Chain A
Amino acid sequence: MGHHTLLPRSGRARTRGAIAIAIAICGLVAAAGLHDGVLYLLPALLLAGTFALGRYPGERALLALAVRHRHHARRRRARAPSAPARPAHREVPRGGLLIASFLAVRPPPAGCVHG
């Protein structure tokens, strides 16, 4: 058995027994005329049965995909050009602001001048 089978022999037997019972009950339900119910619940039944047997199909492939996706994302981030630094922008007071700056005993706060 591959390493995906997690259950000991007795556990596997009980699980398979339980699934056999579930399938038998579904068969009875279907025989009772509730075919629709079984048809609707079949995907859930298949998934639950597979996982209960200790099988997780595609798990390795999913993890490999995740690792590859992480690498790609990291490489994309590394390759992406960083945002160009803004050139130092120094505003020169003009007009009334220049006069006000000149006349001010204490110059206005920088935020007001450049704002």
Chain B
Amino acid sequence: MRWKLLPARGPAIGWALRRAAPLAAALIAAGALCPAAAEAHGIKGRASLPVPAWLFAWAAAIVLVVSFVLLSAMWSAPRLQEPRERRLCRWPAWLSVPAGAIGLGLFALVLYAGWEGADSAGRNFDPTFIFVVFWVAVPLSSAVLGDWFSAFSPWRALARAGRWLGRRAGVGWRAPLAYPSWLGRWPVVVGLVCFGWVELVYHDHDNTGTLAWLALAYLVLMLAGMAMFGIETWSERGDAFGGYFNLLSRLSVLDARDEALWRRPLLSGAPALPREAGVVALVLAIIGITTFDGASNGVVWNNLQPHVQSVFTGLGLGDTPADEIADSLGLALAIAVVSGFYALGVLGMRSVSRRFTGRQLARSFAHTLIPIAFAYVLAHYFSLLVWQGQGIAALASDPLGRGADLFGTAHWRIHYSFLGSTAIWYVQVVALIAGHVGALALAHDRALATYRSHADAVRSQYWMLVVMVGFTSLGLWLLSAVNT
């Protein structure tokens, strides 16, 4: 009989579900309380939608359920775990020299503009370049074109140039320390959370001089890490931005490595994500930072934040430090809520089979969150990229904000009519749904490779479906608020 496909289970299996259920309750409550409305970089106009915005979340849930059914019924063997790659072309090793020089040149421009340029976020090159081009455009383009940033990384280029010069001078340098396995990707996580804090919490984040000093401090930190653990090792595991861009580049069909360009099946780069310490935290931190960016301008946080702030002002702190501490707690809460969603999915999967520990499952399925991180970043920052990104053309001609016109584009203005609010809303919805369908496919493929039976794999994915629907609903709620 057909249902004999299902493995028999004893009552002991219920323990994980019993733990999962209260967590689900707490999470849903937290999810309902935490992010309210509005989005920092979202649509600032009112989109005219034919149906209430919450119906989009229901439609997205239906799309995800249908995708889950199709995957369960028609995808019965792992396909993405060991992909076949094809080399498209090779390039000479010396090309890394001009690429590194371009990266170093841009970095020098950021320092120079920060120290010598106008102290105005609108006129100075730095804020737009750092918060729009570097923080949004580079990761999104990496998901399409592959990990191109590593070739242009200024800190890596400087370290490699130093190593080359040292060898020419007869001074060899060998990294004195072996990279500890317990450290894993934690430096990347810490770096990204710090950057997110500077962008979303720190009051002085628009001060161009401060940005330049922070960039210089980051360069020094990277060079120190590379000197201690080796250039390639630290670039991969210690460089916050390199690690972030590399993570999203795993979604691309293109892979640049070994001085060659390779083509691989869509999504097949993600399963190769190493299962090491800090990997789960890395993906959750990216989603959490984006979530707080959306929630920080929402109704609930804006109502709650003054109360939290008043606690700290009551302790004798000034308004600014109290405000920053309250927002820091909000950022931590957003990451915790996102982590809770994932923990719920892992606990649910744990109820299917006791063969794996929660930690094993969490690390094994961490790569399935990469498309969600990409979808969140694309959906939340799309309007910023489309509108504010146009400003870089004028700023490139006049990076210091002193009236120069180097490329003849200093007079270019931002065209806000370029894309309407409704069109942006639809792009965001499609991005969120597509990202979560991709995540479901990755999770299904990994489940088939992980569990002994197809039945166990399918049942485990019921829980990942909850995670995906939860993340989609949360993302749409954050985005929709600016339309209301």
Chain A interface residues (CB < 8 Å from chain B): 3, 6-8, 11, 14-15, 18-19, 21-22, 25-26, 29, 34, 36-45, 47-49, 51-52, 54, 56, 58-60, 62-67, 69-70
Chain B interface residues (CB < 8 Å from chain A): 2-3, 5-6, 9, 11, 13-15, 17-18, 20-22, 24-25, 28-29, 31-33, 35-37, 52-54, 57-58, 61, 69, 72-74, 76, 299-300, 344, 348, 351, 454-455, 458-459, 462-463, 465-466, 469-470, 473-474, 476-477, 480-481, 484
Contact sample, A vs B, 24 pairs, CB 8 Å cutoff:
A6-B9, A6-B14, A11-B18, A14-B21, A15-B18, A25-B28, A25-B32, A26-B28, A36-B480, A40-B54, A41-B32, A41-B474, A42-B58, A43-B469, A47-B466, A48-B466, A52-B24, A54-B17, A62-B458, A63-B458, A65-B74, A66-B76, A67-B2, A69-B76
Dominant secondary structure at the B interface: helix
- Whole-angstrom distance between the Cβ of B343 and the nearest chain A Cβ: 12
With A41-B28, A41-B477 already in contact, the answer to whether A64 and B2 are too (CB < 8 A) is yes
Q: How far is the CA of A43 from the CA of B52 in the complex (A)?
A: 15
- Whole-angstrom distance between the Cβ of A104 and the nearest chain B Cβ: 35
Q: How far is the CA of A91 from the CA of B317 in the complex (A)?
A: 91
Q: How far is the CA of A63 from the CA of B344 in the complex (A)?
A: 24
Q: Are A65 and B73 in contact (CB under 8 A)?
A: yes
Select which of A36, A48, A65 is within 8 A of B24 by beta carbon: A48
What residues of B have a CB within 8 angstroms of the CB of A36 in the complex? 37, 53-54, 477, 480-481, 484
Dominant secondary structure at the A interface: helix
Closest to A8 in B: B11
Closest to B468 in A: A44
What residues of A have a CB within 8 angstroms of the CB of B69 in the complex? 58, 62, 65
With A26-B28, A43-B469, A63-B458 already in contact, the answer to whether A11 and B17 are too (CB < 8 A) is yes
Q: Are B22 and A41 in contact (CB under 8 A)?
A: no
With A63-B454, A69-B73 already in contact, the answer to whether A48 and B18 are too (CB < 8 A) is no
What residues of B have a CB within 8 angstroms of the CB of A48 in the complex? 24, 28, 344, 466, 470
Q: Are A41 and B72 in contact (CB under 8 A)?
A: no
Q: Are B476 and A14 in contact (CB under 8 A)?
A: no
- Whole-angstrom distance between the Cβ of B382 and the nearest chain A Cβ: 19
Q: How far is the CA of A44 from the CA of B340 in the complex (A)?
A: 14
Closest to A38 in B: B32
With A6-B351, A8-B11, A41-B28 already in contact, the answer to whether A62 and B72 are too (CB < 8 A) is yes
Q: How far is the CA of A36 from the CA of B28 in the complex (A)?
A: 14
Q: Are B29 and A29 in contact (CB under 8 A)?
A: yes
Q: Are B3 and A60 in contact (CB under 8 A)?
A: yes
What residues of A have a CB within 8 angstroms of the CB of B462 in the complex? 47, 51, 56, 59
Closest to A68 in B: B73
Q: Are A25 and B29 in contact (CB under 8 A)?
A: yes
With A25-B28, A44-B61, A66-B76 already in contact, the answer to whether A19 and B21 are too (CB < 8 A) is yes
- Whole-angstrom distance between the Cβ of A6 and the nearest chain B Cβ: 6
- The 7 A-B pairs with the shortest beta carbon distances in the complex, nearest first, are A22-B25, A43-B61, A65-B73, A44-B470, A7-B14, A25-B29, A39-B54
Q: How far is the CA of A22 from the CA of B35 in the complex (A)?
A: 17
